Every structure is written in C-alpha cells, then in structure tokens.
C-alpha cells in the first residue's frame, strides 16, 4: 500500500461548512492527527486511529504524520478553518523541506477549508469587499515589534485587517496594544467586528468602532476585523448592522 498525507481544513465549526472534499479525505484515512478539540469535530469511524496532540506541538505532529504516511498508511492531519492559514499545512511543508528526502515523494494533498475571517465577514455583510490582509497577533513565532510594524503598514496602506489569535492566557495585552496603535492611524469611527466561535453553538458577533473597541470582548476563539477608512456601517434596527467595504476605493457606487 502506498501511503498518503492529506492536510485537511475542517472549516470554522459547523459541519455544513466542511467541504465535501474534506469529508471524503477524512473518511478515506486510516489515521487522524490533530489538536484534540479539532479531532473531536470529526465523526468517529471504525478502524481509524486518532493521535491528539497539544496545540503548540505542530512541528512534532507534522513529523509524526509524515513518518506514519511514509510507512504506507493513509494519514490525515486536521486544522480548524483552512489548513494553510496560520495552521498545519505550513508546518507539514516545513518538515518536508528539512526532513527525510523520501517525504518529498509522498502523495500529499492540502484540502482547503473556510477560514475564520471569511466566516466572520459573512456574518456582517462584506467587510473584506476590497483589499485586505490577515495578521496573527501571536508573538510566539515572531517578535511583537514586527507585528506592530505590520499593523501600521497595513492600516497606513488602507487594507482592512483580519486579526487572528488576538489574545490568550499567555498573551493578554497584545490586542489592546494593537488597537492603540491602529487608533493612531485610522479614524475613531472605523468599524471593528468581533466574531467569536462563529458557526458554532456558542457563536457571538458584535460590531463596534475603533475608539470604543474593548479588547476584553475577545478570547482565543475570536477573530477581529478592523475596517479601513472606506469601510461603512448600515444600521438595521433590531438586527446586527451590515458592515461592508465598497468594491471601489472611491466609495460606494463609484
Ligand atoms: N486555520 C484557522 C486559523 C488558526 S489560528 C482558520 O483558517 O480559521 C486560530 C484563530 O483563528 C483563533 O484565535 C481565532 O482568531 C480564529 N478562529 C478560528 N475559528 C474561529 C471561529 N469559529 N470563529 C472566530 N474565530 C475563529
């Protein structure tokens, strides 16, 4: 039997947002590797083994999955959202680049998923309707100074910014700092969207402005979208406002 490795995106939570391709790849696997809470989302299957590991052990998990696939098994590594966005696909590529030369010949597939920023954006309209970027606020893998420089460059260039990994117990102050820096560049009224656990049973979504954005509203399961100066809010009494960034940089309808 020839081994294979699929790096599979599970989407933001709701099984409806798992692609048919991802479901097929999961069902065809002998072994699943991933962070425990993500593995818990995959329906159990007889004969399939699961290897849960801690969130911070991405390199070791990728190497273990590659080794297992190299022995002839059909292996899947799972990620929340999309596996290529701050997740396992890059960790697997890194191991392939530096590891056993035979890993380069493995049957590898990366199965995309709906990433958190798309799921959050869809809840409020179209905040990512014009140019945007994504920045992880985690300074585990890069210095905080670099995060701040990227925030300034992105806001200064007019990008809408999706903030992943905004806060955790070990990183309590980063989001407050990020808002502070952005307040020095963007108008006080810039829309800010907080999307928490989107598409899961405990989902919550809120729209605020940059001057009143409260970092304590966010946790590890929250993605934040900070608008650009062009991003607009349409109030809808009794409903969540719509937030959108016009497709033309010159404004709506231009
Ligand atoms: N690969 C994932 C991102 C991993 S980084 C993806 O493509 O979505 C983890 C961060 O993603 C979290 O800290 C949070 O910012 C965001 N996130 C993941 N799932 C989310 C969800 N259902 N709702 C809101 N944010 C989410």
Reported as a single tens digit per residue, the pLDDT across 178-208 is 999 999 999 999 999 999 999 999 999 999 9
Q: Which of 116, 129, 149 is nearest to 218 (CA)?
A: 116
**85 CB within 6 A, ligand 1:** yes
Residue 127 Cβ inside 6 Å of ligand 1? The answer reads no
Ramachandran sector of residue 7 (left: φ over 0; alpha: ψ -120 to 50; beta: rest): beta
Which segments of the chain does DSSP mark as H helices, in order? 20-27, 36-39, 58-70, 88-98, 116-124, 144-156, 174-183
Tens digit of pLDDT for each residue in 61-110? 999 999 999 999 999 999 999 999 999 999 999 999 999 999 999 999 99
- Ligand 1 centre and the CA of 11: distance in Å? 9
> Of all atoms in ligand 1, which is nearest to the CA of residue 79?
1
CA of 99 to the centre of ligand 1 (A): 28
Q: Tell me the pTM.
A: 0.96
Is-contact 102 57, C-beta < 8 A?
no
What pLDDT, in 10s, does the model give residues 122-136? 999 999 999 999 999
Is it the case that residue 252 has pLDDT exceeding 70?
no
Cβ contacts of residue 216 below 8 Å, gap of 6+? none
pLDDT-derived band of residue 168, with 50, 70 and 90 as boundaries?
confident
HSE toward the beta carbon, residue 144, CA cutoff 13 A: 11
Is ligand 1 within 6 A of the CB of residue 167?
no
Task: Give me the phi and psi of 192, to 5 degrees please.
Answer: -130, 125
For residue 54, the model assigns a pLDDT of 83
Report the C-alpha dihedral over residues 23, 46, 60, 119, rounded to 10 degrees: 30
CB of 29 within 6 A of ligand 1: the answer is: no
Cα–Cα distance for residue pair 110/81, rounded to 1 Å: 12
């Amino acid at each position: 039997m020839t081994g294979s490795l699929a790096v599979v995106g599970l989407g933001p939570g709701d099984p409806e947002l798992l692609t048919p391709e991802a479901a097929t790849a999961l069902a065809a696997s002998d072994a699943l590797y991933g962070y425990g809470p993500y593995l818990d989302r995959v329906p159990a299957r007889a004969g399939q083994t699961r290897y849960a590991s801690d969130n911070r052990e991405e390199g070791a998990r990728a190497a273990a999955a590659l080794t297992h696939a190299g022995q002839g098994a059909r292996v899947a590594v799972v990620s929340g959202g999309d596996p290529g966005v701050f997740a396992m696909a890059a960790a697997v590529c890194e191991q392939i680049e530096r590891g056993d030369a035979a890993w380069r010949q493995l049957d590898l597939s990366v199965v995309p998923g709906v990433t958190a920023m798309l799921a959050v954006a869809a809840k409020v309209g179209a905040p990512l309707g014009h140019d945007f970027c994504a920045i992880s606020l985690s300074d585990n893998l890069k210095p905080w100074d670099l995060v701040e420089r990227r925030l300034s460059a992105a806001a200064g260039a007019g990008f809408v910014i999706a903030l992943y990994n905004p806060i955790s117990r070990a990183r309590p102050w980063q989001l407050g700092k990020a808002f502070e820096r952005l307040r020095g560049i963007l108008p006080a009224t810039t829309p800010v969207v907080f999307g928490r656990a989107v598409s899961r049973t405990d989902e919550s979504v809120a729209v605020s402005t940059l001057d009143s954005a409260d970092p304590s509203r966010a946790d590890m399961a929250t993605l934040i979208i900070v608008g650009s100066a062009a991003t607009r809010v349409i109030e809808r009494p009794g409903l969540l406002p719509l937030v959108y960034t016009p497709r033309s940089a010159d404004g709506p309808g231009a």
